[in-house]
A and B are shown apart, each in its own frame.
Chain A
Amino acid sequence: MPSVPSKTIHLSVNGRPVEAEVECRMPLAELLRDRLRLTGTHIGCDTSQCGACTVHVDGVAVRSCTLFAVQADGSEVRTIEGVGTAGEPHPLQAAFQEHHALQCGFCTPGMIMTALELLRTVPSPTPETVRHYLEGNLCRCTGYYNIVKAVLAAAAETQGTGRPADEGSGHASL
């Protein structure tokens, strides 16, 4: 069998430098989960529909199942592990807990990563804007109602404190 083309890539993941030799066909989600053991990034559909695998690449929310790891060479990647900690959750994470915005929790990391970007772009969104922005993140449990409520609550809180919504309280570690 002929060898599969591979490349050595360098990227930063949650602030930590990573060097990895990857097959050119390896999705970023696979690098994060199987190599770096950052299993907070979930793979739901693996076909670019559900948004569970959402991470930030150079500050922008993307589906990590629809991006090859080689495309992230030289980039800064942020996963849910780089957002907050159990002891010190990000306001969005705290709001999800407070407003019961998750049931099984599978979609939650992706929801948080997309919502982080929304609050950076539109700090005081309307409910309609939140719903539109989360269109690419599917949830099979909640009916979305409490998710929208949580995002709005986090927006109100971060606005109230003047603290940027996309600045995590926790410090990233792998």
Chain B
Amino acid sequence: MHPFDHQAPDTLAAAVKALAEDEDAQALAGGMSLVPVLRHRLAAPSVLVDLSRIPDLSFIRDHGDRLEIGAMTKHATVAASPEVRRRIPALAGLAGDIGDPLVRNRGTIGGSLANNDPAACYPSALLGLGGTVRTDRREIAADDFILGTFETALAPGELIVAVSFPVPEMAVHLKEKNFASRFSVVGLFLSRTGGRVRIGVTGAGPHAFRPTAFEDALSADFTPGALGGLAVPAGELNEDQHASAAYRSHLISVLAAMAVERCLAGGDGPRDGRA
């Protein structure tokens, strides 16, 4: 591994300052993506600015019409949270199906969104719920946040503080996962509020995206049949050793129809064996 220094500031301001002062500094959240990258010598930051000692970055707040989740909140915490399980069970289910328990015990929502892996789960929920990312300096709407593969609207040194999700009337998360990595081959998060449907798709393309033709069709007629014939063109999707682009296109259509059926059957909650 390349050598690097480690700082663990105890305020957000100190972390932002440390990142601003050194362009080779790198923020460290849970490290579930970053640490393997470092161990493979794929990055050589001068210093890791460890965010884990900053108080007040791990919280879940119910604001009535939305849930706000602190950037350093771990996937396991979101999955087990009574507030999330009650208000947006599909989001708790998503968090409880990321990676494995060892990953969920360290990985954070802020780290996942800042990294923006094209197959990560949280970006689909951010888009599918129409969430808002709050940083140390501004608020960024979901549709403006995800720009490309591992690319977000975050400026260098800009830190996510919290993510806010509107509470939908109903929502479902479905994921066809790679058996080895447990990343999404295709993951789909669908929500419906006031008749308006939003869908976030991950794993299928260069980054998470919204299949707007699906959303429009389902907003007009919320039945699986409304999707008849609709498909995201395979030419826009990933083709790799895990799945062909045509298969990913097929999965998006199938998962979308399944999500509608689940919603009509009352939606579903997390399935992790907890009471």
Contacts and interface: CB of A to CB of B under 8 A. Distances in A.
Interface of A: 2, 4-5, 7, 23-25, 27, 46-48, 51, 54, 60-63, 65-68, 70-71, 73, 114, 117-118, 121-122, 125-126, 128-129, 132-133, 135-137
A67 to B, nearest CB: 7
B81 interface: no
B35 A66 contact: yes
Contacts of B38: 25
A48 B37 CA distance: 10
Nearest to B97: A132
A117 to B, nearest CB: 7
B272 A132 contact: yes
A25 B31 contact: no
B35 A68 contact: yes
A133 B47 CA distance: 34
Given A125-B273, A126-B273, A136 B52 contact: no
A74 to B, nearest CB: 9
B16 interface: no
B150 interface: no
B103 interface: yes
Interface stretch (B3-11, B119-127, B183-191, B214-222): B3-11
Given A125-B273, A129-B272, 16 more contacts: A4-B3, A24-B3, A24-B4, A24-B6, A25-B2, A25-B38, A48-B35, A63-B102, A66-B32, A67-B31, A71-B28, A117-B101, A121-B274, A132-B273, A133-B273, A135-B101
A114 B3 contact: no
A73 B8 contact: yes
B112 to A, nearest CB: 15
Contacts of A136: 99-103
A5 B6 contact: yes
Contacts of B35: 48, 66-68
Contacts, number: 91
Interface residues of B, number: 32
Contacts of B182: 135
B4 A114 contact: no
B196 interface: no
A71 B31 contact: yes
A51 B272 CA distance: 20
A111 B76 CA distance: 19
A54 B6 contact: no
Interface string B104-122: 0110000000000000000
30 contacts: A2-B3, A4-B3, A5-B6, A5-B47, A7-B6, A25-B3, A25-B4, A27-B39, A46-B39, A47-B36, A48-B39, A60-B76, A61-B102, A61-B105, A63-B102, A66-B32, A66-B36, A70-B8, A70-B50, A73-B8, A118-B101, A121-B80, A125-B273, A133-B101, A135-B101, A136-B99, A136-B100, A136-B101, A136-B102, A137-B100
Question: Top 10 closest A-B pairs, CB basis?
Answer: A136-B100, A129-B273, A5-B5, A24-B6, A4-B3, A135-B100, A136-B102, A70-B6, A25-B1, A66-B35
Contacts of A135: 100-101, 182
